[in-house]
Structure 1
Amino acid sequence: MRRSEERAISVVPRPVLALLAMALALQIAWQALQPKPGARADTLQEPPPGAVLRVVSLGEPIALAQWLTLYLQAFDNQPGVSIPFLELDYPRVIRWLESILALDPVGQYPLMMASQLYGQVPDERKQRLMMDFVHREFLRDPDRRWRWLAHSAIMAKHRLKDMPLALRYAEDITRHARDASNWARQMRIFILEDLGERESATVLLGGLLASGEVTDDKEIHFLTQRLDELKNAGKSSPPSKN
């Protein structure tokens, strides 16, 4: 067999080499100028209808609720992209949280996400949306969900400066949550005494952990970490005046 002959690059005309080099440079520049693929906050789709979720759960609604929780919680942090909570469609996020609670009414994690994550954004309208959601869900099951309305009461007073709303939440705990701890049922006293935000939050979280009513390991770890942060902040700043 005859070996195919190859021409040396030196015999290629210089104009042709120049065109090839220019084409390569243009290709590299074009690729460099292309926007990197990334996630967009508005790509969060509507949750499937409840009837569909019940069918898909195959008789294991709690397992599906946990999977949906992981999906929603991870949505803001996709590979190579971080989506601030502030940019999310909050009414749609609330519909996801409602769907998760419908599958697992005893679960507390969606309410913790609403109050401790999505409710912390520097946007009063979105804070109120999450507080309203927590309040609605509290009224469906006060004896299990009072702790999250207690947190919303603190938020309403110190973040929104809305004393009537904070007092309304605190009074609803006293009125509806018969199994709530004494410290929560007396929260309206803390609000009326106008304690500082750090002091109020420390009392709230400390009482919640001391009550022994929180049994989920992840939730205990999260709340303990928050309590330590509040205590450390208190040591480094002068006490507030009542």
Structure 2
Amino acid sequence: MRKIIHSCESEYYFVRNVIWLFFALNFLVWFFLTKNIKPDLTITPVPPGKHLMKFFSMGDDSFIYRHFGYKIQMAGDDYGTTTPLKDYNYAKLQKWFLLLNEFDPISEYIPSLAGLYYSNSQNPLDNIYIVDYLISFAKRDPSRYWRWLTTASYLSAIKLKDMTRVEEASKLLLTTNEKVPLWAKTVGIFMMTKKDLCSSLNLIASLEQEQFELLATDKVFSGKSPEENIFVQIILNRITEIKKNPQAAQKCKVSKYKIDKYKEFIPTKKDGK
């Protein structure tokens, strides 16, 4: 009996030691194989190709749009870290924005993420990618997505000091239908300074006579009286500036006669009033 018990105990200790040895070897193997593997802390991942994304979607484009949109929104803020916006790769972000819009061209989730969040980078030049994306998104239907054109105009004027992009976004607004608020249509002209005479003149020259009449008689712009119309005063100031410098119209490639002809539509005070 004692021999049997002793034999069982020996087998028990042998099996136990084998198990401990197995776990020890397993630990050592995985330790040496994985000790140099670090978590992927890439702030802005490289966007995959459209066909690969289509495969991931499994037919549900809306899901893949929101899933990766959320991942881009939270990129750089994982593993208990937070990342300043200036450290993001905005060229990659723009590619992500354009790619995701292929899966949901109507939703404004990604434009909101770009225009209201990522536009706050501590490096103002990052907004070049944001502005170009917003313009490309909104130009498909400016009357519906006019808000993002005004955002693009604001970012271009205030953060980039780039009046060329202000003009590009503003022209899209000026040529849309009456569904767009008048303040939005003229936001580019209001942002122009005296140093940007050519850009403001080009915007004014792009107005059709019917649009000009609508702006020149708008009650919001006019205040107490039509002749005090803010928009009209801006145009008159531009006309005065260009007349002071006869070469300005030629330099800006805008006929001063096209600008001057709008004066007949500007409301003026009647004699004795």
TM-score class, shorter-chain normalisation, is: 0.5 to 0.7
Structure 1 residue 168 displacement after superposition: 3.1
Distance in 2, matches of 1:177 and 1:160, equals 28
Residue of structure 1 equivalent to 2:94: 94
Which secondary structure state, in structure 2, belongs to the residue aligned with residue 142 of structure 1? coil
Q: Structure 1 residues 49 and 165, CA, compared in 2 at 3 Å: closer, same or farther?
A: closer
TM-score, normalised via structure 2 length: 0.52
Aligned equivalent of 1:17: none
Look up the match of 1:53.
Answer: 53
Q: What letter matches 1:79 in structure 2?
A: Y
Q: How many residue pairs end up in the alignment?
A: 163
Give the Cα separation in 1 of the matches to 2:184 and 2:47: 33
Cα-Cα RMSD: 2.9
What is the rounded CA distance, in whole Å, between the counterparts of 2:135 and 2:107 in structure 1?
16
Which residue does the alignment assign to 1:18?
none
For residues 174 and 109 of structure 2, the distance between their equivalents in structure 1, rounded to whole angstroms, comes to: 23
Alignment of 1:127 onto 2:124? no
Match for residue 113 of structure 2? 113
Please list the CA deviations of residues 192-222 of structure 1 after superposition, one character each: whole Å capped at 9, or x if unmatched: 489xxxxxxxxxxxxxxxxxxxxxxxxxxxx
Identity of aligned residues (%): 19
1:90 CA drift (Å): 1.1
2:150 alignment partner AA: A
Structure 1 residues 66 and 135: CA distance shift in structure 2, 3 A: same
Deviation at 1:100, TM superposition (A): 1.3
Q: Distance in 2 between matches of 1:66 and 1:143?
A: 25
Contact 2:142/2:149 (CA < 8 Å) preserved in 1? no
Aligned match of 1:40: 41
Greater C-alpha radius of gyration: 2
* CA spacing shift, 1:57–1:179, aligned 2, 3 Å: farther
Moved over 6 A (4+): none
In structure 2, the CA distance between the partners of 1:103 and 1:177, relative to structure 1 (3 Å rule), is farther
- C-alpha distance in 1, partners of 2:69/2:154? 25
Q: TM-score, normalised by structure 1?
A: 0.58
CA distance in 2, matches of 1:157, 1:128: 11
Measured in 2, the distance between the counterparts of 1:150 and 1:125 equals: 18
In structure 2, the residue matched to 1:63 is 63
Matching residue of 1:158:
158
